[in-house]
Amino acid sequence: MKLTSILKVAFNANDSQMQDDFKLTDFEDWDSMQHMLFITKLEEDYSVDLTGDEIANIRTIGEIKKLLSSKGKLD
């Protein structure tokens, strides 16, 4: 899954963290700069433009999946 790859690169995540209820801020390498780089990569790889409200409401991996799915972009 493309999302898993993006998360692994952005936050140095591992497979055990790839649960829908896992919070992005719980990644050891999470900080605001990495978060914005992650959002940029997400938008590029999925060819979507996220609004400020959408970005602010992303807290978990499951919320990312729901957002991408709502845009018809989940792989």
pLDDT per residue as tens digits for the range 35-49: 999 999 999 999 999
Cβ atoms of 2 and 42 closer than 8 Å: no
- The pTM assigned to this predicted structure is 0.90
Structure tokens at 65: 């999946």
27-35, long-range: CB < 8 A, 24+ apart: 34/10
φ, ψ dihedrals at 39, nearest 5°: -60, -45
Residue 75's pLDDT band, with cuts at 50, 70 and 90, is low
Q: What is the mean pLDDT of the chain?
A: 94
